[in-house]
Each structure stands twice: as structure tokens, then as C-alpha cells.
Amino acid sequence: MTVTSVNNKPAAEIPVKHSAGKTTLNTLKIMRQSQRPIAMLTCYDFPTAKILATCGVPVLLVGDSAATTVLGESSTIHATMDFMVLLTRAVRRGAPEVFLMGDMPFGSYATVESAVGNGKRFLAEAGADCVKLECDLRHESIVRAMTMAGIPVCAHLGLLPQRAVQQGGYRYQGRTEQEADRLVREAVAMEQAGAELLLLEAVPDRVSQRIVEAVDCPVLGCGAGPSCHGHVLVLHDMLGYTEKVPRFVERFGTVTAAVAEAASAYVQAVETRAYPQVRHQYGVKES
């Protein structure tokens, strides 16, 4: 299998970037100031985290998208708090130097008390550097309380998968001037409440540009155009595991073909008795 980039450049020619120390919130702010784009990917397990840690990915997000990509559920709302903490701990062990973001699952930040308590779990139990929660103006007090408790927050604005039903489905946001104005107000309010990062999902670049100009913190985009300081993709979408993906997803490789090829070769080897061979067997010590 040959993995290629968006420009069909062979993976062997793509330089591998190794971490130069722990990536922190301050690192991301410096990257923003120096106009160095921030690359973020989702990650859900230890071995994948080990691989991504060698590739220069500064930020990993343990997203509640694990409910759909890993568990096969129909919605992200099926991710539980215990499940998310468990995955985040695994990713932290695999990638100790990255900036690690834990995704607050559905219902885990319904009140100030639950938000602070569950946010602390991500930091204390799972080793996360930051938590992400899907926000609007109603979450201003929650973000402020979490910040006061010492929990770094990334405020997720725009398309909110946990509330897709309330938003009329998985529709991009900021379609009208009224919606765009609301998103800008929400972004400013979240930063003023203490959010250290913003994540915009499925909004036009014109709206992203307005938000970038209105706030001082790094703004990450998920289908939000080139004006953002960085971008995030769901790893399984990027690698070809997912059949139907949003329009903003670029497939940078097709891992499924390699997995299918290896599994088929294994089945054939077993059925033809080519596996196992002598070298795969344990011996018995003679008395």
C-alpha cells in the first residue's frame, strides 16, 4: 500500500517531523502569533497515538466521535464519560508529548457542578491538557466556572453534533448574516469567559475570518475554511475507514486496503495449512 498526500506525493517523500519537547497551550499561542498552522487529528487508542506522536502532530483530540467510528453507534451522544476517560488515558500513554484534548461527552456538562467535576476527571485521571465542550451563549457561566477551577477549555462552536437534532440536522452554520453575527458574539463571549481555544465546525470561511479577527486565542477549524489558525480531521475519515464523509474531508490514505489484504492473506495461509510453520511453534524439553 502506498499512502499519498493530497498532492499525490508518495509517503516516502514526505518528511517525518519528530516532537521537540512537550507541546503546551503556550506553544499553540506562539504558533498562532507566528502564523504557523496547527494540525490536529482525532485519536482513540495507544498504538495509533504512538504512531501519530512521531509524525509531528502537535494536538490530538480524543473525540466523542469514537462512539461512531470505534463503536459503530449512530450518534456521538452514545459516548459515556467513563469511556472517554479510558480512551484519553490510553492516548496519553502513547503520546506523552502532544497537547491532548479530551471531548466532554453528551450530558457531562449540563450544570456547572457536573462540568467542573467531569473536567477535572479528564485532567487528573486521563492526563488531558484541555477539554472541549460544545457551546453557545448559554454555556458562558459553565466555561467561566471551569476556567476558575483551573480547567483549560476549548469552546466548540458552529455545528454541534451532540445537538444536531436541535439544530435541524447536520447542517453547516453561519448561513445568514444573522447566524454569522450570533457565532461571532458566541466566540467573543466564550473567550471572555476564559476559553483558551476555539473550535469552529462547518461554518463558511467568511465567518471564521470574522471570528479570528475578533478574538485573541487560537481558532481551530473543522470544515471552517483556511482563515483558521489550525485544522482538525477525524482520523478514520482521513484514512478511508468511513464511507460517507463531510465535504471538507480529504482522504490522505487508504488504510482499509492494507488491513483487508493482510487479513485475506492470513485466512488463505490458515486454510492451506501454510500457517503455522515450525518457526511459529514451541518445543518440549526432553526429560
What residues contact residue 118 under an 8 Å CB cut-off, 6+ apart? 81, 104, 108, 109
Question: How far apart, in whole angstroms, are the C-alpha atoms of residue 64 and residue 13?
Answer: 33
190-194: Cβ within 8 A, 24+ apart: 190/135, 190/139, 190/140, 190/143, 190/153, 190/155, 190/157, 191/155, 191/215, 191/216, 191/217, 193/140, 193/141, 193/143, 193/144, 193/147, 194/143, 194/144, 194/146, 194/147, 194/148, 194/153
Q: Average pLDDT for consecutive 10-residue bins of the chain (287 residues)? A: 44 46 96 97 98 96 96 94 98 98 97 98 98 96 98 97 72 90 98 98 97 98 97 95 87 92 97 95 87
Write down the pLDDT at residue 187: 98
C-alpha cell at 270: 490458515
3-state secondary structure of 35: coil
Burial class (CB in 10 A: 0-12, 13-18, 19+), 200: buried
The active-site residue out of 140, 186, 191, 201 is 201
The CATH code of the domain at 11-280 is 3.20.20.60
Cβ atoms within 10 Å of 270's Cβ, excluding its own: 11
Tell me how far the alpha carbon of residue 213 is from its chain's centroid: 24
How do the domains of the chain map onto residue ranges?
Answer: 11-280
Q: What is the pTM of this model?
A: 0.89
C-alpha cell at 256: 482499509
Residue 244 pLDDT: 85
Peptide bond into 105 cis (omega under 30): no
Our answer to whether residue 201 is catalytic in this structure is: yes
